[in-house]
Amino acid sequence: MLRSRGIFEPEKDLRRLRVGNQASVLKVMDATNTKAAYMRGLDGVMWAPLYEQQRQAIFQALGISTADLDAVANTLMTGYPRCREKKECLALLGVIGSTPDNTIPDATRRRLLTFLVGEMQGSSDVVVRRQACLNLALLDAIDRRTIEAVICFYEKSDNVWETFPVQQFFEYHAGRIQRLPERAAYRQRLAAVDGLYTENILKFL
């Protein structure tokens, strides 16, 4: 994997992340990878949403400045095929993508959406698929194409473990989705899924 600007080194520093199945980044270990430099909670949905103070603490612990976020995000996506810590890479991309407004360029946000959707739909690793979906839920901005992809993911999968983050996606993005003219069509498709999480998802919408 390529090295980003600044002091963040993906090959070394991704290994310092501790990632949960429901809350994504839980800890950043110190440089020796022996004790926590930052910890934000347990692996539960109540700790999943990211706040600015938490993001900045994660970035600081990893040696990433705000000015470097765009370069780091693109470095991670470009180097992903050669990356061993795929779950950790996706989790860090989710943290970067959760930043608001113009923190990273629109082009990078669009690339990030496409990248995470691609891993959710196409990875052969169920852990990667679930982590990609979870981090789509944590992003600051989504689009109609992403909503469509998550619905398709839920429709096609009969694995309740990997589709759990789908309900997080619709919970965290409910306000945006409720304002879309396609809301009724989304609800109709979701209601037709005989899934464990369908009832909860419909409540969010």
pLDDT above 60 for 118: yes
pLDDT above 60 for 2: no
Q: Is 24 left (phi over 0), alpha (psi -120 to 50) or beta?
A: left
Mean pLDDT value of segment 25-39: 94
pLDDT of 165 reads 98
pLDDT above 60 for 26: yes
Q: Is 63 left (phi over 0), alpha (psi -120 to 50) or beta?
A: left
pLDDT of 36 reads 95
pTM of model > 0.85: yes
Under 8 Å between Cβ of 93 and 135: yes
Identify the band that residue 7 occupies on the pLDDT scale cut at 50, 70 and 90. Answer: confident
Mean pLDDT of the chain: 94
Mean pLDDT value of segment 6-35: 92
Q: What is the pLDDT of residues 146-155, one digit of tens each?
A: 999 999 999 9
Count of CB atoms situated within 10 Å of the CB of 74: 19
| Rounded distance between C-alpha atoms, residue 95 and residue 136, angstroms | 10
Q: What is the layout of strands, in order, in the sheet containing 24-29?
A: 17-20, 24-29, 36-39
Q: Which residues of 24-54 are buried (b: 16+ CB within 10 A; e: fewer)?
A: bbbbbbeeeeeeebbebeeeebebbebeeeb
pLDDT of 56 reads 95
Q: Which percentage of the chain shows pLDDT scores above 70? A: 97
